[in-house]
Amino acid sequence: MKLNATLAVAVALALGGIAAGCGSSNDDSTTSTAAISKADFVAQANQICKQGNAEVEQAGKQLGNVNEAQLEDFVANTVVPNIQKQVDGVKALGAPPGEEAQLNELISVTQADLDQLKADPSKIQDDHLFDDSNQKATALGLTECAG
């Protein structure tokens, strides 16, 4: 089955945006409690996700028409590493005071979803894979990170 590059980019952007800023790099540690204001956290996290999403979109534009195997390769080698980079960048910001528990929950849920995608890139076609992460990111004001 041939998939249009626009579809691949849309799917990749949706997952990239949803997961970015929400997970950690395969460890069970929690976020640090660096002193960052809520406004600065939201602005910086959304910028990290916006930049990462733009990178995935640019890479997706170069795909052309792809079959499922090519889409899965793109997910495994472009989307997943980009999401992980965004996740790690947001985690490095630390949590705003009073937001530690929410951010740690978001990280945990999103990393679990990202790990599923790493294990099986065909899950990119699951429209609901990052639903819980998306809701948690939105609740924290991470609109660029929530798709």
Residue 82 lies in a domain: yes
pLDDT tens profile 11-51: 444 444 444 444 334 444 444 444 899 999 999 999 999 99
**pLDDT confidence of residue 15:** 44
**pLDDT confidence of residue 79:** 94
pLDDT tens profile 12-22: 444 444 444 44
pLDDT tens profile 118-130: 999 999 999 999 9
**pLDDT confidence of residue 107:** 87
User: How many structural domains compose the chain?
Assistant: 1
Residue 128 tokens, joined: 């609901």
Q: How far apart are CA 48 and CA 94, in angstroms?
A: 14
Residue 147 lies in a domain: no
Residue 49 lies in a domain: yes
Residue 113 lies in a domain: yes
Residue 68 lies in a domain: yes
Which structural domain, as residue segments, surrounds residue 68? 2-25+34-139
With b for 16 or more beta-carbon neighbours within 10 A and e for fewer, the 93-108 pattern comes to: bbbbeebeeebbbbbb
